[in-house]
């Protein structure tokens, strides 16, 4: 246990690199927040556009969604960060990670929102339109609230899965938790900063997982 503690729980090393891990914690928190907001908003917008039944537009939305769902997020980050500069578009590591993970989340969110909209019985549409509501009013006041409630459990799980991908930002020098932990490990030749980084991820994401579980229970349809 002494050897294990010296290797993975070296308090002197952990105290030395703790400020950097804390700094990475807040970068990760900021990155996760913008990914969630952007990804969910874009996914919902794409699903709503699909309800307009514009065949050509829907084709491109479905194509983009399928491509983004098939590509590993790391590949997308690499394309944005390393390939775009060759055509004159320079992105920071933070922006590249944000755009890549937001796009992936938007793709999954679009499919989930679309499935939720289709799950609302057609009679709800017809009843709403029969009262004189326009298409957009029926969508906003009748269909969408029901669809969103149906999508909350799968959407919560997918959001958590995507936001944990913020660790991929370390590959393009984003100063998040993993990057700071790896840097500390490189300078100290001791894995204790990695242990500290793992604890930081637990502190950040366990409350998110608990919140997701609560949301699923709170908004589940009563049987």
Whether the per-residue pLDDT at 11 is higher than 50: the answer is yes
CA distance linking residue 172 with residue 156, whole number of Å:
27
Q: Which of 1-10, 51-60, 99-108, 172-181 has the lowest mean pLDDT?
A: 1-10
CA-nearest of 176, 210, 183, 137 to 29 is: 176
pLDDT tens digits, one per residue of 205-217: 888 888 878 877 7
Tell me what the mean pLDDT of segment 113-126 comes to: 87
Whether the per-residue pLDDT at 20 is higher than 80: the answer is yes
- Which position has the higher pLDDT, 153 or 16? 16
In the structure, what pLDDT confidence band is assigned to residue 223 with cuts at 50, 70 and 90?
very low
CATH homologous superfamily for the domain 15-219: MetI-like (1.10.3720.10)
Q: How do the residues of the chain divide into helix, strand and coil, expressed in percent and rounded to 5?
A: 85, 0, 15
Determine the pLDDT at residue 163.
84
Half-sphere exposure (CA, 13 Å, Cβ side) for 157? 6
Q: What angle do CA 200, 9, 4 make, to 5 degrees?
A: 135
In the structure, what pLDDT confidence band is assigned to residue 1 with cuts at 50, 70 and 90?
low
With a CB cutoff of 8 Å and minimum separation 6, the contacts of 101 are 35, 39, 73, 77, 162, 163, 165, 166, 168
Determine the pLDDT at residue 3.
73
- 173 Rama sector, left if φ>0, alpha if ψ -120 to 50, beta otherwise: left
CA distance linking residue 178 with residue 198, whole number of Å:
8
Tell me what the mean pLDDT of segment 21-39 comes to: 93
Highest mean pLDDT among 92-101, 150-159, 173-182: 92-101
Whether the per-residue pLDDT at 6 is higher than 90: the answer is no
pLDDT tens digits, one per residue of 161-190: 888 889 999 899 898 898 899 888 888 888
């Amino acid at each position: 246990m002494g050897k294990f503690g010296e290797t993975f729980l070296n308090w002197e090393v952990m105290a030395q690199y703790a400020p950097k891990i804390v700094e990475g914690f807040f970068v990760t928190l900021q990155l996760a927040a913008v990914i969630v907001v952007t990804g969910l908003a874009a996914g919902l917008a794409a699903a709503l556009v699909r309800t307009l039944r514009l065949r050509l537009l829907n084709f491109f939305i479905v194509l983009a969604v399928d491509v983004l769902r098939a590509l590993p997020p790391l590949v997308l980050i690499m394309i944005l960060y390393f390939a775009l500069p060759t055509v004159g578009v320079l992105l920071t590591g933070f922006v590249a990670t944000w755009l890549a993970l937001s796009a992936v989340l938007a793709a999954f969110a679009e499919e989930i929102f679309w499935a939720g909209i289709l799950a609302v019985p057609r009679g709800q549409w017809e009843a709403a339109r029969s009262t004189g509501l326009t298409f957009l009013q029926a969508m906003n006041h009748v269909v969408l609230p029901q669809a969103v409630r149906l999508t909350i459990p799968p959407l919560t799980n997918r959001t958590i899965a995507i936001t944990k991908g913020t660790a991929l930002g370390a590959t393009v020098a984003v100063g998040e938790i993993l990057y700071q932990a790896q840097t500390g490990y490189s300078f100290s030749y001791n894995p204790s900063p990695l242990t500290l980084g793992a604890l930081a991820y637990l502190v950040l994401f366990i409350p998110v997982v608990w919140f997701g579980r609560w949301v699923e229970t709170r908004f589940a349809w009563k049987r």
